[in-house]
Amino acid sequence: MEHRSFNDPSAATFSLTDEDHTLANSVRFTLNQDPRVAFCGYSIPHPSEARVNIRVQTTGDPASEVLIDACRDLMQMCQHVRSTFDKAVVDFKMSHPAEAMNIEQ
C-alpha cells in the first residue's frame, strides 16, 4: 500500500504487510545506493503486527518507481549471489571428491 500526497509523487511511504527487517533492511540498503534517493528509512510501527513502513524521498523521480528499481537491483544481486554460490559449491565438490562422496551417501 502506498501513502503519498496527490501532487508530489517524489515522496511516499510504502506499507508492506507480512514483511519484516529481512526485506526492509535489504531494500533500504539498495535504495540508499541509488543516487536518486534523497532519504529513505523504514520502521516497524508495532512489533506484534506483521507490517513494515518504508519511507522513500527522491530528488524528483516518482518514489514508487525508485522503490521498484531498488527491488529489481536486490533481485539481481540475489541471482548473482545464488549463481556464484552454486559454482563455488560445485568447485568445492570437484576438488574434494572424498568428502563429496560422503554427502551423497
Partner 1 sequence: MPEVSPMDMPDVPMGKLPEHLELQRTRVLCASDAPTHTENIQYSGAYAMMGIDNGLRLDQFCKNFRVEVIRLTEDDMEFDMIGIDPSLANAFRRILIAELPTMAIEKVLIANNTSVVQDEVLAHRLGLIPIKVDPRLFAYMSENDTPNEKNTIVFKLHVRCERGSPRITVKSDELKWLPNGSEFSLATENSTANSTSKPKTYTSFSCSQDSLPIFTDNPIQLAHPDIIIAKLGPGQEIELEAHAVKGMGKTHAKWSPVATAWYRMLPEVVLLKEIEDEKAEELVKKCPVNVFDIEDIGDDKKKAIVARPRACTLCRECIRGKEWGDLVALRRVKNHFIFTIESTGALPPEVLFTEAVKILEDKCQRVIAELS
Cβ of residue 1: shortest distance to partner 1, in angstroms? Answer: 8
Nearest to 36 by CA among 78, 73, 69: 69
- 3-state SS string for 7-61: CCCCEEEEEEECCCHHHHHHHHHHHHCCCCEEEEEEECCCCCCCEEEEEEEECCC
DSSP 8: -
Cβ of residue 47: shortest distance to partner 1, in angstroms? Answer: 13
Choose between 51 and 93: whose C-beta lies nearer to partner 1.
Answer: 93
Choose between 8 and 83: whose C-beta lies nearer to partner 1.
Answer: 83
Cell readout for 105 is: 551417501
Choose between 6 and 98: whose C-beta lies nearer to partner 1.
Answer: 98
Binding positions for partner 1, rule: CB under 8 A: 2, 14, 16, 19-23, 25-30, 32-35, 37, 64, 67-68, 71-82, 84-89, 91-93, 96, 99-100, 102-103, 105
